[in-house]
Structure 1
Amino acid sequence: MQSLFAGDTRSITGALLLLAITSLVGVLGWLSKIVLQTMADWRQRRRDNDDRQEHLEEVLVDILIHADFDDRSVAGIIDTRRITALKDQIDSGPSDYRPFVPSEAPDPTFADYRGVRRRLEIELMVACDRFFDNSQLFHGYYAHLATAEFAALSSERKKQALDTLVALGEKVQADYQRLSQAMETAPEAQPIYSKVMSALPPRQDIWPNA
């Protein structure tokens, strides 16, 4: 009788031991799955963060190149010699004279900037906002010089419009200087600033024979 109970006890103990081992294996498997998933999620987040950082740097590079080109363009448009020549044309040309204004190809830089704007330091964000706002205002005003509305103005009003264009252009140039300084010191832009600026072509006088 005792041996019979002893056999039952051993069977129950063995079953409990087997159940414990099975449960432990299940728990370890579950923990292993959680750990692996956590590691995979962490790697994915790091890849996503690296991609976001790379995209941010690409946009900042584009902004620097675009702003430098725009500053040069504005400098050429409002150059005193050019404005003086246009005023002479207004005085001596036909009453409906209007200057030739070349069309501009659409530039995606501003739209790209809007996508990363909130990730920038406040100072850099403000500098970018001011530059883009005044640049767009300037180029919109400049394009207006080629319209029939401008052609219909009196000679004096046309020359006043050119003076306004110069004032707007000077704002863009001042904003470019602020933007350049902000780029040079902002943590997110500082690593690429000197590389971009050193790669840009030197500035030249667009009126060398004047």
Structure 2
Amino acid sequence: MIKCNVTVGGTISRVATVRTNNEGKVFTAFAVNCVIPAKSGINKTVEISIAKDGEDNELKNYAIGQRINVSGTLTFKKRGDNLYFNLSASDVGLSASNEDSIKGEMHFRGKTGKHIEEKTDKKGKDFLQFSGFSTEKVNDGFEYLWVRFFGFDCKREEWLQPQTGIEVKGEMDLSLYNDKLNLACKVSEMSKYVKPAYNSNN
């Protein structure tokens, strides 16, 4: 599981339409383009699909190309090499800024990768660096979405080992390197995660 409470600044790329989900609930759907700056190579534009509960008549007046800020819960869907962005909006407003951004806090549950590294930065401060993955069952297989974690001002606990269940909260960072999107998190809270036992009665 990866959920991020974020604010997105971008440009409307698909006009708002009113739809009904499988449970009969009405929502307003549109999309926003956001440019992710590249650390190396060319910047990349990602499209974020946005859904807002109810029929928002004001959104219907927003035109393609309009600058906008959207706050809400961002989730990800990985299919092969493609990463899709879905945002359940709580607040939408016009923006006077020309800067694209995706900023917020990540909540992650998954497993650590094969390596937990204890490093020292240029100022002599110790930090942890490791990767973790969240798993989604898709048809007869699985999709794995990886996140890079950086733990500053936190010591390595005994339980933090490779291939261990983990729950992390912290600042989300989305970047681009050689045309590949990198999802990262600056750790503020971290604990061992034990998946609840399956109860057939629930």
Interval containing the TM-score (normalised by the shorter chain): under 0.3
Larger Rg: 1
TM-score, normalization: structure 2? 0.18
- Structure with greater proportional strand content: 2
Higher RCO (C-alpha 8 Å, min separation 6): 1
The structure that is helix-richer by fraction is: 1
